């Protein structure tokens, strides 16, 4: 999770963005393929937060690949794919912007994300295109997709609310279930006690004892049933790992619903 303030990196005019996770969705020949997660830079404009408002733009490899010197050819609003190294991140963004790019995707030379910041003494920070850094493995896949045909990308950074409503509802469901079960248990015990007192007053003590013996609520677990549970649970976990797919998830939802009703 890279969505936080970084006190070590300087915030200066033109370089004061918060670090935000950015989704990079790709298409090859208008067919949706892989989605990657990168991190936005301290500089440049804020990346669109709504997927439906984000533009789908063609992707090109920069020439030269490091994008540290002026490109050999101008681009017409495409997103440039460049390699990290040999110059500053801001230099790469300025070169890409001067060439006509609408955004720049920088490929890290390592398998983790890196925060793109500015030096304290930088002054030329009037950068008007967004910059996103992707890990090395994502860059390898992107270059492979470019060899298959025309590639388009869509960049957007989903909002991260301070309070996740899903977590609130999960908490309410969990606590509500426990409270409901506790109330139901107490109510059932109270009703049984009242019924027992009535029967005792009427002189039906023998029938009360028989009923109490037949509803102890205890379950006997033998060695065979315990071993069978381990085997069945293990097989189910293996099946869950091997057969994880859309239909299997739907099946699990149905099973959990039946269990919840029970």
> pLDDT of 115-161, one tens digit each?
888 877 777 778 888 899 888 888 888 888 888 888 888 898 887 77
- 237 shares a domain with 152: no
Q: Choose one of 100, 132, 156: the last residue of a domain.
A: 156
3 state SS of 205: helix
Residue 185 domain-assigned?
no
> pLDDT of 96-123, one tens digit each?
888 888 899 998 888 888 888 887 777 7
Tokens matching residue 66: 């490091």
CB neighbours (10 Å) of residue 198? 11
Q: What is the spatial distance between Cα 134 and Cα 39, in angstroms, rounded to a whole number?
A: 7
- 133 shares a domain with 15: yes
- 236 shares a domain with 150: no
14 conformational bin, left if phi > 0, alpha if psi -120 to 50, beta if neither: left
- 140 shares a domain with 21: yes
- What's the whole-number mean pLDDT along residues 197-217? 60
Full residue range of the structural domain in which residue 27 is found: 3-156
Q: Residue 134: beta bridge partners?
A: 107
3 state SS of 50: coil
pLDDT at 1 > cutoff 50: no
Residue 206 domain-assigned?
no
Q: What is the spatial distance between Cα 103 and Cα 81, in angstroms, rounded to a whole number?
A: 9
DSSP state, 73? S
What pLDDT does 195 receive? 84
CB neighbours (10 Å) of residue 56? 13
pLDDT at 212 > cutoff 90: no
Q: Choose one of 156, 185, 208: the last residue of a domain.
A: 156
What pLDDT does 254 receive? 93
Domain count, the chain: 2
Tokens 């509500």 belong to 176
Domain harbouring 139, CATH code:
3.50.30.30
Angle at 231 between CA 230 and CA 234, to 5 degrees: 85
Burial of 120 (0-12, 13-18, 19+ CB in 10 A): exposed
Residue 14 domain-assigned?
yes
Residue 199 domain-assigned?
no
- What's the whole-number mean pLDDT along residues 13-40? 85
Tokens 């015990």 belong to 189
> Lowest-confidence range among 61-70, 121-130, 213-222, 249-258?
213-222
- Report field, pTM of the whole predicted structure over 0.75: no
Residue 192 domain-assigned?
no
Q: Choose one of 156, 186, 204: the last residue of a domain.
A: 156
What pLDDT does 5 receive? 46
Residue 90 domain-assigned?
yes
- 132 shares a domain with 250: no
What pLDDT does 192 receive? 85
Q: What is the spatial distance between Cα 65 and Cα 151, in angstroms, rounded to a whole number?
A: 17
């Amino acid at each position: 999770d890279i969505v936080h303030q970084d006190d070590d990196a300087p915030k200066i005019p033109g370089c004061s963005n918060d670090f935000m996770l950015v989704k990079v969705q790709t298409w090859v020949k208008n067919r949706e393929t892989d989605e990657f997660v990168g991190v936005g830079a301290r500089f440049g404009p804020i990346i669109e937060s709504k997927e439906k408002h984000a533009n789908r733009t063609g992707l090109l490899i920069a020439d030269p690949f490091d994008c540290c010197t002026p490109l050999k050819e101008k681009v017409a609003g495409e997103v440039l794919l460049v390699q990290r190294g040999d110059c500053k991140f801001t230099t790469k963004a300025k070169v890409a912007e001067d060439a006509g790019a609408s955004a720049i995707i920088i490929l890290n030379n390592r398998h983790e994300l890196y925060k793109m910041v500015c030096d304290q003494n930088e002054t030329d920070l009037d950068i008007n295109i967004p910059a996103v850094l992707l890990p090395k493995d994502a860059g390898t896949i992107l270059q492979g997709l470019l060899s298959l045909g025309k590639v388009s990308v869509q960049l957007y950074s989903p909002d991260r609310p301070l309070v996740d409503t899903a977590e609130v509802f999960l908490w309410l469901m969990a606590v509500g279930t426990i409270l409901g079960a506790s109330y139901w248990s107490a109510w059932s015990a109270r009703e049984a006690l009242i019924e027992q007192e009535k029967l005792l007053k009427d002189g039906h003590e023998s029938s009360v004892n028989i009923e109490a013996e037949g509803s102890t609520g205890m379950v006997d677990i033998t060695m065979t049933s315990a071993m069978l549970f381990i085997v069945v649970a293990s097989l189910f976990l293996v099946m869950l790992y091997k057969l994880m797919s859309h239909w299997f998830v739907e099946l699990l939802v149905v099973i959990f619903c039946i269990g919840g009703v029970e």
